């Protein structure tokens, strides 16, 4: 009887230490500046001796941008990432907007073994304008915003254990920040000329068939209309009498970027009824 009890205890102790060693294996997210307002969100393996290549089934994270700035996903791990826009005003933070970016892979895709220490890009985005203030950042899992809105937390489901089974548990710590290295860039530290239109008003908003734009001491030149996912849906080359024809737009929320004849620009949200 004593031998049986000791054997069971030994098994429990071995399982405990095995679990402790595996607990160190995982990933964090980092942000890479590719230049020209192009950024890659990459994953960094925790320090590990594992030579078993990671197999990713799904992942997600939230990118925070200055209010009114949009972005387009240009590439992703499986070339099928979905970007869901959220308005910071709706969560009590009117100075920011953001995108929840997720992808579930039809077939798991491999990453280099953690022992290599290789940082692997997961998603690359391109900003659709050139902000001069604010930051771009990855939302940390232990931030107040992520804690209040759990779906905004970054995650990754992956197989990291060479046990002959295809299991995909979470490998990004949901209770810590989930981030490492550089996770944000300040736009106000960049050498970007100030080309923002300081004073601009739009009415009516919500709109139906037409929008009037008032901008002091500026001649408005053209407008670009984007969906909240960052896709350009309309270009208005000539703005006549400071009016925009919105009759062809479907009922939705849009981001409209207005340019003056001097190249100055400003982005505002437009609700089409």
Neighbours of 237 (CB within 10 A): 7
Q: Which of 69, 41, 53 is nearest to 132 (CA)?
A: 69
Q: State residue 157's pLDDT score.
A: 97
Token pair for 205:
């908003």
Q: State residue 130's pLDDT score.
A: 83
CATH class of 200-272: mainly beta
Supply the mean pLDDT for the chain: 82
Three-state DSSP state, 216: coil
The pLDDT tens digits for 176-185 are 999 998 899 9
Three-state DSSP state, 128: coil
Q: Which of 1, 16, 30 is nearest to 181 (CA)?
A: 30
Query: Which residues, other chains included, contact 186 with Cβ-Cβ below 8 Å and sequence gap of 6+?
Result: 134, 135
In the sheet where 210-215 sits, what is the strand order? 200-203, 210-215, 243-245
Q: State residue 74's pLDDT score.
A: 94
67-86: average pLDDT: 94
Lowest mean pLDDT among 9-23, 82-96, 103-117: 9-23
Highest mean pLDDT among 106-120, 214-228, 259-273: 106-120
The pLDDT tens digits for 16-67 are 333 333 445 899 999 998 888 999 999 999 989 999 999 999 999 999 999 9
- Is the CB of residue 194 less than 8 Å from the CB of residue 132? yes
- Is the CB of residue 149 less than 8 Å from the CB of residue 51? no
Tell whether the model's pLDDT for residue 138 goes beyond 60. yes
12-16: average pLDDT: 34
Tell whether the model's pLDDT for residue 242 goes beyond 60. yes
The pLDDT tens digits for 186-222 are 886 444 444 455 566 788 888 888 888 876 666 777 7
Beta partners for residue 201, in sequence order: 214
Question: In the chain, pLDDT over 70 holds for what percent of residues?
Answer: 83
Task: Give the long-range contacts of residues 178-181, CB within 8 A, separation 24 or more.
Answer: 178/28, 178/29, 178/140, 178/141, 178/142, 178/153, 178/154, 179/28, 179/29, 179/30, 179/138, 179/140, 179/141, 179/154, 180/28, 180/29, 180/30, 180/44, 181/28, 181/30, 181/31, 181/44, 181/119
Q: Which of 185, 192, 197 is nearest to 256 (CA)?
A: 197
Token pair for 119:
């940082």
164-182: average pLDDT: 93
Q: What is the pTM of this model?
A: 0.67
């Amino acid at each position: 009887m004593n031998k049986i009890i000791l054997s069971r205890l030994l098994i429990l102790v071995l399982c405990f230490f095995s679990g402790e060693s595996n607990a160190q294996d995982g990933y964090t997210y980092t942000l890479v500046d590719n230049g020209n307002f192009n950024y890659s969100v990459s994953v960094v393996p925790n320090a590990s001796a594992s030579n078993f290549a990671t197999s990713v089934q799904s992942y997600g994270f939230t990118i925070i941008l200055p209010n009114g700035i949009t972005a387009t996903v240009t590439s992703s791990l499986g070339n099928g990432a979905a970007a869901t826009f959220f308005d910071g005003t709706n969560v009590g933070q009117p100075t920011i907007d953001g995108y929840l970016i997720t992808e579930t892979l039809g077939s798991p895709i491999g990453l280099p073994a953690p022992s290599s220490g290789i940082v692997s890009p997961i998603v690359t985005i391109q900003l659709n304008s050139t902000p001069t203030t604010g930051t771009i950042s990855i939302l940390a899992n232990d931030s107040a915003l992520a804690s209040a809105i759990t779906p905004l937390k970054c995650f990754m489901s992956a197989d990291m254990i060479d046990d002959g089974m295809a299991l995909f548990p979470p490998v990004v710590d949901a209770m810590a920040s989930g981030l490492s290295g550089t996770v944000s860039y300040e736009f106000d530290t960049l050498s970007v000329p100030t080309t923002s239109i300081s004073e601009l008003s739009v009415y009516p908003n919500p709109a139906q068939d037409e929008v009037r734009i008032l901008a002091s001491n500026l001649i408005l030149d053209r407008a670009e209309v984007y969906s909240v996912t960052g896709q350009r849906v309309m270009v208005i080359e000539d703005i006549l009498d400071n009016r925009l024809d919105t009759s062809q737009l479907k009922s939705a929320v849009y981001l409209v970027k207005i340019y003056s004849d001097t190249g100055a620009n400003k982005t505002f949200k437009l609700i089409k009824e």
